[in-house]
Amino acid sequence: MKKTILIIIAAAAVIALLAWALVKPALEVETGKVSQGQFIRLVQEDGKTRLRERFTISTPLTGQLARIALQQGDAVEKESVLATLRPVKPDLLNERYRLEQIERAGAMEAGLARSLTQVEKAQAALQQAKVDLQRTETLARQGFLSPTQNETERLNLRLREKELESARLEAEAARHQLYQARIAIRHYASGSAETSQRTWQIRSPITGKVLKVHQQSEGMVAAGTPLMELGDPRRLEVIVDLLTEDAAQISAGTQAELSNWGGPETLKATVRLVEPSAFTKVSALGVEEQRVHVVLDITSEPKQWVNLSDGYKVDVSLVVQTVDNALKVPVSALFPIGTRSAVFTIDNGKASLHEVEVLARNRNEAMIKSELKVGTQLIIYPSNKLKAGDRVKPLTVQQAR
C-alpha cells in the first residue's frame, strides 16, 4: 500500500512537471496608459525666408553708365545715389523713343492711380475692421459673442493694417518710377547737344541694403537694364509649401514655430496668408502632390533673429488641430486590424484586444474614440506574435525604452 502511494505521488509530480513545461511563459512587454488631456496636432515642413518687398533698380533710359561703387550687402538710405547715367547723344531713333517714353509715363501714371486706389481701398477695409472690432467687443461684453470671435476680429484688424502699409509702399514705389520717367522725357525734350553731357542720377526708393549688383562695370546700357536689387532685411516673411489637405485646416492667424534656422532659440510666427491657388509638385519619391504656398510673419522680437536673412532655410511647425479633454493613447500602442486600429490592454496578467477609432494622431499620441477608461494599462510596441489571452508581464521602468 505504501509503495502504491509513492508511485501515485511520483506520477503526479511528473505530470505537474510536464504541465509546467508545456505552459507558455509570460511574455515581457512594455506598457503605457490611456490618458485624457489636450491633444495638439502639428504639421511640420521645411520653409524659406524671403523679403516682403524686393526692389529691382533699372535704367530709365539708354546711356553710358558710370561704374557702380556699391557692393552686395552695403547699406543705402532713401534718396541716396545708386548709379550715375549719362544719356547718349540724340539720333534718328530718339523721337520714337521719346514718344515711347511718354506712353510709358502714361502707363506709370495709371499704375500710380491704381496704387492710390488700393491705398484708399485698404484704408476703407481698415476702418471697417475697426468698426467690426468695436461691435464685437460690445457684443462680447454683453455675452452675445464668444471670446474666440472677438479675437478673430482683432487678428483681422492687424491684417488690414499690414495691407494698408503694403499698399502705401507700392504707391510710393510707383510714384518714384513715374518721377524717373518724367525726368527722362524732360532730358530728351531739350533736344540740344548738351543733353548728352548731362548726368542722370538713379536714386534709392527705400532705406535698406544692396542684395545683388547686376551691372557694376562702366559701359553702355539700354533702357530697362537691371542694375541692382534692394531690400530691407528687417522685413522678412517665411514661405512654406503645404499639402492642400493640411493647408485646408489653416487660416490667417494660425500660430507656428520656426526652428533649426541657425540660432539657439525657437521663433514664433503667425500665418498671414494661405494663397488661394495650389500647384503640382513632384516629391522625392516621384509622387505628384498638390501643394499651396502659406506665408508667415515672424512675431518674435527682431533682436532674436538679427542673423536671419533672405533665402534662409527654417523648419516650420504649424498647429492645425487642438482638442481639450481628448482621450489619448501612445501611437506605439496602435496596430492595424483589418481596416481599423486596435490596442492590447493588460487584464489580470493577460493581453486583451480592443478595437479603437483613431480620430487624429501626431508623432507621439493618437486621439481615439473608445470605451477604454483613463489609466487603462496598454501594451506598447506589441509583438506580431502576441495574441489575445496570452500571459504577459510588464517590464520595469529601468528596462523600458
Give the span between the Cα atoms of 192 and 188, in whole angstroms: 8
CATH class label, 26-39+324-394: mainly beta
The CATH number of 54-85+199-231 is: 2.40.50.100
Q: Can you read off the three cell numbers belonging to residue 283?
A: 516629391
Residue 168 has pLDDT above 90, yes or no: no
Residue 82 has pLDDT above 50, yes or no: yes
60-64 mean pLDDT: 86
Residue 207 has pLDDT above 70, yes or no: yes
115-127 mean pLDDT: 80
Q: Can you give the pTM of this predicted structure?
A: 0.51
139-156 mean pLDDT: 72
For residue 358, give Cα distances in angstroms to 78, 320, 350, 376, 386: 57, 17, 24, 17, 21
CATH class label, 41-50+234-323: mainly beta
Give the span between the Cα atoms of 374 and 287, in whole angstroms: 40
To 5 degrees, how large is the angle CA 42–CA 256–CA 277?
Answer: 85
Pick the range with the lowest mean pLDDT from 174-188, 221-235, 292-306, 363-377. 174-188
Give pLDDT tens digits for 253-310: 888 999 999 888 899 999 999 999 999 988 888 888 999 999 999 999 988 888 888 8
Given this chain, do its domains 26-39+324-394 and 54-85+199-231 carry the same CATH topology? no
Domain ranges of the chain: 26-39+324-394, 41-50+234-323, 54-85+199-231, 91-190
Residue 397 has pLDDT above 70, yes or no: no
